[in-house]
Copies of this chain bind each other. A is one copy, B any other.
Amino acid sequence: MDLGMTDRVRPLVQQVRDMVENEIAPLDAEYHDEIGRHPSGGRFALTDRQIEIMEGLKAKARERGLWNFWLTDSKRGKGLSTVEYAYLAEEMGKVGIAAEVFNCNAPDTGNMEVLERYGTDAHRERWLGRLLKGEIRSAYLMTEPDVASSDATNISLRAERDGDDWVLNGDKWWASGAGDPRCALYIVMACTSPDAHKHSRHSMFFMPADTEGVEVLRPMNVFNNDDAPHGHMHVRFTNARVKAEDLILGEGRGFEVAQGRLGPGRIHHCMRAIGLAEKALELMCRRGLTRQAFGKNLVELGANYDIIANARMEIEQARLLCLKAAWVMDTEGNRAAAPWISMIKVVAPLTALEVVDQSMQMHGAGGISQDQPLAAMWTKLRTLRFADGPDAVHRRQVARHELRQYSNEPR
């Protein structure tokens, strides 16, 4: 069970870290300050400067071969293991726009995975190449406003067969990335057979974002943040038509596609969350060592040593659990890794939220303001307690897995 950095990945980690720290981080604030400055006034339109920043960085990353690391099980990528990718993703988690620079950002990676695994050649030709090059973006439309989507059997957006088409009606929200003007592809889960067995009711579709009858209603805000230009959009489908061949894998197999997609996506979020936590701890230490009150450095006051020690202990544990989950994925596959992914999906965001919260507190009120990245880190992490399944559902999975080993025993 080798959870360490391999010799192969070590120099990549160093390159990514350097680029994040020295080239991406210095432009991150400027990129975000541009939001809302498009001549149209729209927050979800990219300014020339934003495009220049992002495409410039992407060009450098592509040139240096720091690109598409997430393709861990494909001939198209570098053939890294999930464990190796974890170390890279952690570095990308430290700065807001970094993952996109390396073409490793959600939800595109998961969507590319769907194309790779379940798409036809036609799908791959149409979408996958451009996504792999970072030319377009994509979104994944699962969650709905009117039902508890944590139980995915509740998903109610309706797709009805009409000739060679499926006709979709209903609302989706929290379609992350659907705000981006470059977003060209939606992957949509819909109910195709309401009367079938509850795990066979749903199907998944590829759909061009500009399909008629698709309307982006509004961005969902996360603690007042619309996360422009990425965005988490509320999207309405009114008689929106998809071709039958764009139903993925087969009618009633939506859950199968979702499961295949979610494992890697969940763990990538967690890897980046560890990076975020590391960054927050670093900021906490630096602040505590350079600010004085009551005649001492802040670190010397109150429970601050314990707070720092606890943060370090929690981060190390969360990282190791994340690496272990990655290792199980690499060696035993997504299904075997499911309980491990559930575990880290609960642990990583909670751990990172706690560290960021403590770091904010060490910074005083400035810590929750625009002068520090901490509040934005916190809100991003807070969404992770819902994204790809709320904590409660993952805990439930872990407990069921634990109990299963005993429940067939004679009593």
Please give the residue numbers on chain A whose beta carbons come within 8 Å of chain B beta carbons, in ascending order.
Answer: 1-5, 143, 145, 148-151, 154, 173-174, 220-225, 281-282, 285-286, 288-294, 298-299, 301-306, 308-310, 312-313, 316-318, 320-321, 324, 343, 346-347, 361, 364-366, 368-371, 375-376, 378-379, 382-383, 385-387, 390-392, 394-400, 402-403, 406-407, 411
CB <8 Å contact, A310 and B151: no
CB <8 Å contact, B285 and A402: yes
Q: How far is the CB of A39 from chain B (nearest CB, A)?
A: 16
Given that A145-B366, A406-B289 are known contacts, is A391 also in contact with B361, CB under 8 Å in the complex? yes
Given that A369-B220, A395-B302 are known contacts, is A285 also in contact with B406, CB under 8 Å in the complex? yes
CB <8 Å contact, A379 and B223: yes
Max count, chain B CB within 10 A of own CB: residue among A151, A289, A293? A293
Extra A-B contacts (10), CB below 8 Å, given A289-B407, A308-B398, A316-B324: A220-B365, A220-B369, A223-B223, A302-B396, A305-B396, A309-B396, A312-B343, A312-B398, A361-B385, A368-B383
Q: Which residues from B are CB-within-8-Å of A304?
A: 392, 399
CB <8 Å contact, B220 and A403: no
Q: How far is the CB of A289 from chain B (nearest CB, A)?
A: 6
CB <8 Å contact, B4 and A313: no
CB <8 Å contact, B347 and A364: no
Q: With the chains together, A371 CA to B4 CA distance in Å?
A: 44
CB <8 Å contact, A143 and B3: no
Q: How far is the CB of A177 from chain B (nearest CB, A)?
A: 15
CB <8 Å contact, A386 and B398: no
Return the contact of A312 from the options B143, B286, B382, B402 (Cβ within 8 A).
B402
Return the contact of A305 from the options B225, B302, B368 (Cβ within 8 A).
B302
Given that A148-B364, A223-B223, A292-B154 are known contacts, is A317 also in contact with B321, CB under 8 Å in the complex? yes
Q: Which residues from B are CB-within-8-Å of A2?
A: 1-4
Q: Which residues from B are CB-within-8-Å of A288?
A: 403
Return the contact of A225 from the options B224, B316, B385 (Cβ within 8 A).
B224
Given that A221-B370, A309-B395, A376-B224 are known contacts, is A298 also in contact with B361, CB under 8 Å in the complex? no
Name which residue of chain B comes closest to A375, CB basis. B223
Given that A301-B392, A316-B321, A392-B303 are known contacts, is A221 also in contact with B399, CB under 8 Å in the complex? no
Q: Which residues from B are CB-within-8-Å of A386?
A: 361, 364-365, 368
Q: With the chains together, A309 CA to B91 CA distance in Å?
A: 29
Given that A223-B224, A391-B361, A398-B313 are known contacts, is A308 also in contact with B403, CB under 8 Å in the complex? yes
Return the contact of A289 from the options B220, B224, B387, B403 (Cβ within 8 A).
B403
Name which residue of chain B comes closest to A404, CB basis. B285
Q: With the chains together, A190 CA to B316 CA distance in Å?
A: 37
Q: With the chains together, A398 CA to B148 CA distance in Å?
A: 25
Q: Which residues from B are CB-within-8-Å of A149?
A: 364
CB <8 Å contact, B398 and A151: no
**Sample of 28 A–B contacts (CB below 8 Å):** A1-B2, A148-B293, A148-B298, A150-B293, A173-B366, A220-B365, A220-B371, A221-B370, A221-B375, A223-B223, A223-B224, A223-B375, A223-B378, A224-B379, A281-B402, A282-B406, A289-B403, A289-B411, A302-B306, A302-B392, A305-B400, A306-B399, A308-B399, A317-B347, A320-B320, A361-B390, A364-B390, A365-B387
Q: How far is the CB of A128 from chain B (nearest CB, A)?
A: 28
Return the contact of A403 from the options B148, B285, B346, B411 (Cβ within 8 A).
B285
